Structure 1
Amino acid sequence: MNKTISDIAQMAGVAKSTVSRFLNGGSVSEDTRQKIERIIKQYNYVPNTFAQSLKAKKTSIIGTVVPRLDSYATSQTLIGIDEELRGLQYQMLIANTSQDMQREIDAIYDFARQKVSGIILLAAEITDAHLKAIEDIQLPVLLVGQQHELLHSLIHNDEQAGYLMGKYVVEQGHRDIVYMGVSEKDQAVGIHRKQGFKRAIDECSDCTVRYYETSFKMSEAVLTAAEILQEKRPSLIVAATDNIAMGVMKTASFQKVRIPQQMSVAGFGGYDITEMIHPTLTTVKYHYLQAGKLAASHISKLVKGESISQHTVMDVELIPRESVDKI
């Protein structure tokens, strides 16, 4: 049974007017605020009258929910969003969730209470709880980096990126390959990128590929790469991100494995640092800055009630460099 504002007040031990004042941004004591917030989050409470007031009192603020701030992809996307929103006379609020799914859900409700006009959501996975929160708040939401049939989304062409990389390394003569991926909970990187790579490999009759899973953290990629090299050194390691690829290169350096003479390495992302390191890293470039600008343009149109494509796909670009040798 849905809770009412009276229920919330009773559970918090405060007057109904106090809860109403909190919901409308008024001043309440810190202790009272914490009590009300805890109960509201526990029951995912968004009263209809509040949702209606959000529609009636739109602000010039766009909320952006991000999984982490220490990421090249995230930072570049945020820069693009901010630059475009400023030109459109909007401001951006950022909620960093540190890859905690519950914090993503909480951030959606928190932004609604702050009366933002719309939300840009960068999430690794969309669950039923995400969908319920988005339905509850009755605000325009744009999903960036992942795709869901019920949401407007803007994605990078991960399947094509994987295919381009697979096709390229096969053409360079590599047949003994390791692919270091991430959890399939991240559909874009964990599933679609790997699927594209597999599609290219399937077109090669004599390729052997071993698949491993690591995390997005370079420190964990270093450890995974060490395990791989201890088992058997391949001619090439393809890493699901440039960060993972640089972790592989660090391990190779520790073990005095020369790149690309003794082992080739490739990644995905096109981070600026990849053309500064030695050897320079072969990668598939993602246009994160442009994606951020387009995301800002799309959310502003949704806020104004204008129509946009349900799904927008950004192109990617293969960049061959020194880290992949031709056999």
Structure 2
Amino acid sequence: MVSTISDIAKIAGVAKSTVSRYLNGGSVSEETKKKIQSAIEETDYSPNPFAQSLKAKKTNIIGTVVPRLDSYAASQTLIGIDEQLKKANFQMLISNTSQKIEREIESIYSFAKQKMAGIILLATEITDLHLQAFADVNVPVLLIGQEHKDLHSLIHDDYHAGYKIGEYILEKGHRKIAYLGVTEKDIAVGVKRKKGFQMALEGRKDCEVRYYETEFNIPSAQSAAYKIINEFKPTIVVCATDNIALGVHKVAYVMGLTIPKDLSVTGFGGYEVTEIIHPGLTTAKFFYKEAGKKAAENIIDLINEKQLDQLTISKFEIIERESVDNLLKGTL
């Protein structure tokens, strides 16, 4: 049976408040200390670190705000954060906001009231409300996934990943290209990936490129894919995320198209499922778990008031699989 402060107080013959004061380093007489310590040893009592932190002036808990939990990128990032925080004797408390900005703002204020040592926000968009909340709470804050000039941020190299994907498909001979992106409110995914891609294709008069927009989920991507394939008939669809690419992949199958012979597809992310599906998806792989670990290190440095670069950029790698046809084969 788990022992409590009440059990310790009863055995030691003191008030619960006295036990609580002792556990939190408050003033207690030497005689009382011995009684409490003896009771703790007798019951093998282990203090609740979360409860202790809430009573302390400075906690060891990092509040982490997540837009959605059913995301490979988010879950891998959280695993990395958690593993690294544990090594440094910190804990993580998660708030899932279901992609609602008002809940993100509420979580920031709530974490501050709970005396979080720092706040990590896996951001999709930074609004004036976010900036006001960060200013109000006066708690060290780190963004993951988005960059802001007034905040410490850790981002993936979306621009150069987009550029490399653009270079790659050109090298494979694709000239009739559809780019299926997301809202430009998301600067990282919606703007930077597309801009990098556009820069790789800049000045290519031999290319016909059309840009489309969808949501992050697979059903929305499927709806967009039907329209793109029927109206434009591209040789390749470059997708802003792996989930979007999976939606296109499914539509191609339903329409009787063979990947990559009839339609090539690429993504961004490097989700595990992209290796399992057939054919495997060519994608720009981001290292989410490693980014999470680095984010944990950065927030601890901010808490300890150590010097830290305003921006940290996580690496990427182009993973070449079977989903992109080489249209130049046999022409060299």
Instruction: Indicate whether 1:91 and 2:108 are aligned.
Output: no
User: Is 1:65 the equivalent of 2:91?
Assistant: no
8 A contact 1:285–1:317 mirrored in 2: yes
Structure 2 portions without partners, runs of 5+: 1-53, 328-332
Counterpart CA distance in 2 for 1:275 and 1:203 is 33
State the match for 1:252 in structure 2: 252
Q: TM-score normalized by structure 2?
A: 0.81
Q: CA separation in 1, counterparts of 2:76 and 2:125?
A: 20
RMSD over aligned Cα, in angstroms? 1.2
Change (3 A) 1:284 1:126: same
Deviations 1:5-28 (A, max 9, x none): xxxxxxxxxxxxxxxxxxxxxxxx
Write the letter of the residue equivalent to 2:135.
E
Q: Deviations over 1:283-321 (max 9, x none)?
A: 000000000000000001111111111001111111111
Give distance in 1, aligned partners of 2:303 and 2:276: 41
Matched, 1:261 2:253: no
8 A contact 1:159–1:192 mirrored in 2: yes
Aligned to 2:168: 168
- The offset of 1:96, in angstroms, is 0.6
Name the structure 2 match of 1:309.
309
1:280 maps to what in 2?
280
User: How far, CA to CA, are the matches of 1:247 and 1:125 in structure 2?
Assistant: 24
- Secondary structure of 2:283's aligned partner: strand
What is the percent sequence identity of the aligned residues? Answer: 58
Whole-Å separation in 2 of the counterparts to 1:121 and 1:167: 32
Q: Deviations over 1:214-233 (max 9, x none)?
A: 00001110111011112131
Provide Cα deviations, 1:63-117, integer angstroms capped at 9, x if missing partner.
Answer: 0001100100000000000000000000000001111001110000000111110
May I ask how many residue pairs the two structures share in their alignment? 274
In the aligned structure 2, how far is the partner of 1:205 from the partner of 1:162? 19
| Cα distance in 2 between the residues matched to 1:65 and 1:301 | 19
Number of the residue aligned with 2:156: 156
The Cα offsets for residues 229-274 of structure 1, whole Å up to 9 and x where unpaired, read as 1213110000000000000000011100110011100000011111
Q: SS of 1:313's equivalent?
A: strand
Q: Distance in 2 between matches of 1:197 and 1:117?
A: 39
1:170–1:204 Cα contact (<8 Å) kept: no
Distance 2:167 2:103 in 1: 39
Once the two structures are superposed, what CA deviation does each residue of 1:140-174 show, in whole Å capped at 9, x if it has no partner? 00011000000000000100000000000001000
Q: Which residue is 1:33 aligned to?
A: none
Cα distance in 1 between the residues matched to 2:166 and 2:232? 21
CA contact (8 A) 1:241 1:267 kept: yes
Where 1:265 maps in the other structure, the secondary structure is strand
> 1:203: Cα distance to partner?
4.6
Matched, 1:105 2:105: yes
Distance 2:228 2:276 in 1: 26
SS of 1:227's partner is helix
Matched, 1:76 2:82: no
Provide the residue aligned with 1:241 in structure 2. Answer: 241
Q: Which SS does the other structure have where 2:82 is aligned?
A: helix
Describe the SS at the equivalent of 1:163. Answer: helix
1:179 and 2:176 equivalent?
no
Where do 4+ consecutive residues of structure 1 move more than 3 Å? none
Matches of 2:203 and 2:277, distance apart in 1: 32
Q: 1:236, 1:190 → 2: CA distance?
A: 19
3-state DSSP of counterpart to 1:237? strand
Question: In structure 2, how many angstroms separate the alpha carbons of the residues matched to 1:128 and 1:261?
Answer: 47
Whichever residue aligns with residue 316 of structure 1, its letter is: F
Q: Which residue of 2 aligns with 1:218?
A: 218
Deviation at 1:205, TM superposition (A): 3.1
